Amino acid sequence: MVEEINPPQRLLMGPGPINAHPRVLRVMSAPLLGQFDPQFREYMRQASELYRGVFQTANRWTLLVDGTARAAIEAALVSLIEPGDRVLVPVFGRFGHLIVEIAKRCGAAVQAIEVEWGTVFPDEALSAAIRKHRPKIVAISHGDTSTTMAQPLADLGRVCREEDILLYVDATATLGGMDLPVDAWHLDVVSAGLQKCLGGPPGSAPLTLNARAERRIVRRRHIEGGLQDKNYRAGDGPAIQSNYFDLAMIMDYWSDKALNHHTEATSMLYAARECARVLLQEGLPAAFERHARASRALTEGLQAMGLKLFGDQAHKMANVTGVHIPAGVDGERVRHALLNEHNIEIGTSFGPLHGKIWRIGTMGYNAREEAVTTTLRALETVLAAQKFRRP
């Protein structure tokens, strides 16, 4: 028989997952309950309320999609997009391409616009693209961990609302670490994952949607045959092309109707609820400031070592930093030495940045001074062993 799992104690300083908060890990060992147990329904109700705080929204439909962050991206897109819909996707990194890919699979007529990796779109470029392409939906990432850039969204929300366009935002990598006032910025649907600034394990994806999105989704409600009651009437819109990610059924599952759509990922709901409790107990402004402070400490430390930061620093995410691999240094050897000799994980990169930058996260439980100094010290030791000399 193989041994019981006993993983090494790593400090996870990549772009996610990060080390989960100890309180979150503790609640995951709480006893399971049936998903229609009144006590469990109360935990669900509390989770909704807590995530209204995290998303800074009054949206009734604030819930968890079971799965990693892309589960909620798929749920949002497949439930909003009707085949043939025009969807505009501003792409500034790998996760923009992911949105394009999912939207195409949903049958959208996708119009992608791109900027160079390491930059973001000026507000005017987004308004001009909207005027030119007249989409029904705009779908965009807030922070793209592949480039470490954060796209300003306040103006985009206003423009989409004025033009009656639905705006979906992937906030997987920023929720809890950077300000994202969903209602104030007029964001219609926003989703995230636990494994970054929320300080939990991957596997639950918080999502919020407002009344504008609800209207579009509800007219596509088609409940599976075995669950229909005598009062059931299907919506007059086309059925959502996924059962698991059908937000109309997931909303019925979260509501008092308690539709028996899927079996809840019980322990993940406990985890998600605790992530939000930890965050809201600290307070959102304090959490944003802690992320910004950790990021500043990291970037100052990297520059003091003679390393060069990647990308437009005015639009860098507060929780992931890109740093150029210096000439003559083998980036993968450095990462392996950090992992094997210091138990620290940092991120590699992909696409046009492959082999060019490392990505270092300061997120959630690891947005702490101690985690930053431990990482900087180890990196300095490993680079010295590779004969790196400060320029």
Contacting residues toward ligand PLP, per CB under 6 A: 15-16, 68-70, 95, 141, 144-145, 170, 172-173, 193, 202
Q: How far is the CB of 382 from ligand PLP (least distance, A)?
A: 24
Comparison of 69 and 338: residue with beta carbon closer to ligand PLP: 69
Comparison of 276 and 383: residue with beta carbon closer to ligand PLP: 276
- State phi, psi for 153 to the nearest 5 degrees: -125, -10
Comparison of 50 and 69: residue with beta carbon closer to ligand PLP: 69
Q: How far is the CB of 145 from ligand PLP (least distance, A)?
A: 4
Q: How far is the CB of 320 from ligand PLP (least distance, A)?
A: 8
Sign of CA dihedral 130, 133, 136, 139: negative
> What residues contact 165, with CB distance under 8 A and at least 6 apart?
130, 135, 136, 137, 138, 159
Comparison of 127 and 151: residue with beta carbon closer to ligand PLP: 151
Comparison of 19 and 127: residue with beta carbon closer to ligand PLP: 19
Given a contact cutoff of 8 angstroms between Cβ atoms, the answer to whether 92 and 146 are in contact is no
Two tokens at 86?
A: 């025009």
- From CA 14, how far away is CA 339, in angstroms rounded? 11
Comparison of 268 and 337: residue with beta carbon closer to ligand PLP: 268
Q: How far is the CB of 133 from ligand PLP (least distance, A)?
A: 23
Given a contact cutoff of 8 angstroms between Cβ atoms, the answer to whether 26 and 200 are in contact is no
Q: How far is the CB of 342 from ligand PLP (least distance, A)?
A: 23
Q: How far is the CB of 207 from ligand PLP (least distance, A)?
A: 13
Cβ neighbours, 10 Å, residue 78? 21
Largest interatomic CA distance in the chain: 75
Strands (E), 173-329: 189-191, 204-209, 320-324
Given a contact cutoff of 8 angstroms between Cβ atoms, the answer to whether 93 and 147 are in contact is yes
